[in-house]
Amino acid sequence: MPVEVVVARADTVVDAILASGQVEAMQSIELRSDIEGRISRILVQEGREVSRGTPLFKVDDAELKAEVARAEAERDLARQSLSRTRDLLGQKASSQSELERAEATSRSTAAQYDLLKVRLDRTVVRAPFSGVQGERYVSLGDYVTTATPLATLQTVSPQRAAFQVPERYADQLRLGQQVTFRVAALPGREFTGRVDFVDPVVQLPGRTIMVKAQVPNPRRELQSGMFIEARLATAVRPKAVVIPEDAILPLQGATFVWVAVDGKASRRPVELGVRTPGFVEATSGVEAGEQVVVAGQERLSDGAPVAAKVVERTPPEATEVGQMGARSNAR
């Protein structure tokens, strides 16, 4: 009986979880001043790249400078008083309690001076990390408090791809797994990163787990908030058996294939794994190199003689990690 067969082939198959998410900065903050006052200088334009410690804003410091000068004078006076008290104590003209009081006053005024110096230094708002200054919310002369946002600051390289997967895949999530994704705003481009965070807490009410992957971004193409379609590779099998989908026959809740062996038909139950366009992984029942029937199955019976004609089927081109497939679609 004439039939068409395809040779089962060994190929690289990837178990993957599909999910949607967004690009996030590794670090992102709203800058605020530690000191209340009016903005006297804006030192960096919006959108500029800055290094850690770069001055960004200056709050008017005239009043604080006066307070520092007063505290410095009080500190110096307390030190002089302490020195005199020690001299008098050596001459038996002062008491130990007066010396202790002078020492306490000296330490107190020195601490007050140091505190005001710190506050004066904090009138300059500096970048806490290297990144790009985003939108500015204040203008020159605005009065700001410690709760007033001044501008945003975020890192740009590397970035993070953040997405959520259903909790049923919790045992498949590992640090270091490869994530590939596409960005709607950059058609035709594919980006690759590695998982560096798996949330230990399941988020309600959707019962999902947050996963984040670190992604190089040397050209600053990936911007925070971009929508992504991600593929998380959970397992790679380099020698999986792949057969055409049209060789599969469902029957009474099971799946079978016909295999041509020594000129005779043999029906085999098979377990299926990852699917790709036109092909499916056979995790059991078929070995690489065997001939599976893709046309003429409806006339076959177990042990029937067959005249096999081998036809070629070409799987889709492999990606960077081989022939890709997905078992799940999160969200």
Q: 62-90 and 96-121 are packed helices; what angle lies between their axes, rounded to 10 degrees?
A: 160
Please state, as a whole number, how many other Cβ atoms lie within 10 Å of the Cβ of residue 25: 23
Helix/strand/coil for 245 = helix
> Does 261 fall in a domain?
yes
What is the C-alpha separation between 107 and 12, in angstroms, rounded?
A: 73
Residue from 31, 52, 35 nearest 136 by CA: 31
Q: What is the 3-state secondary structure (H, E, C) of 194-220?
A: EEEEECCCCECCCCEEEEEEEECCCCC
Question: Residue 34 has what pLDDT?
Answer: 95
Question: Residue 325 has what pLDDT?
Answer: 44
* pLDDT tens track for 203-251: 999 999 999 999 999 999 999 999 999 999 888 888 899 999 999 999 8
* pLDDT tens track for 130-139: 999 999 999 9
252 CB-contact burial (10 Å; exposed 0-12 / middle 13-18 / buried 19+): exposed
Is residue 113 domain-shared with residue 199, that is, in the same domain? Answer: no
What is the C-alpha separation between 265 and 28, in angstroms, rounded?
A: 64
Q: How many domains does the chain have?
A: 4
Domain that holds residue 50: 37-59+125-154
Residue type at position 239:
K
Assign residue 163 the CATH number of its domain.
2.40.30.170
Which spans in the chain are helix H? 62-90, 96-121
The full DSSP string for 127-186 is: -SSSEEEEEE---TT-EE-TT-EEEEEE--SSEEEEEEEEGGGGGG--TT-EEEEEETTS
> Does 274 fall in a domain?
yes
Which spans in 238-282 are helix H? none
* pLDDT tens track for 66-115: 999 999 999 999 999 999 888 888 888 778 888 899 999 999 999 999 99
CB 64 within 8 A of CB 123: yes
What is the C-alpha separation between 41 and 36, in angstroms, rounded?
A: 14
Cα–Cα–Cα angle for 41, 44, 47, nearest 5°? 145
Q: Of 190, 207, 235, which residue constitutes the final position of a domain?
A: 235
Please state, as a whole number, how many other Cβ atoms lie within 10 Å of the Cβ of residue 244: 19
Is residue 291 domain-shared with residue 268, that is, in the same domain? Answer: yes
Is residue 211 domain-shared with residue 295, that is, in the same domain? Answer: no
* pLDDT tens track for 14-43: 888 999 999 999 999 999 999 999 999 999
Give bridge partners of residue 252 from the DSSP assignment: none
Residue type at position 329:
N
**What's the pTM?**
0.69
Q: Which DSSP state fits 246?
A: G
Is residue 252 domain-shared with residue 320, that is, in the same domain? Answer: yes
Is residue 43 domain-shared with residue 149, that is, in the same domain? Answer: yes
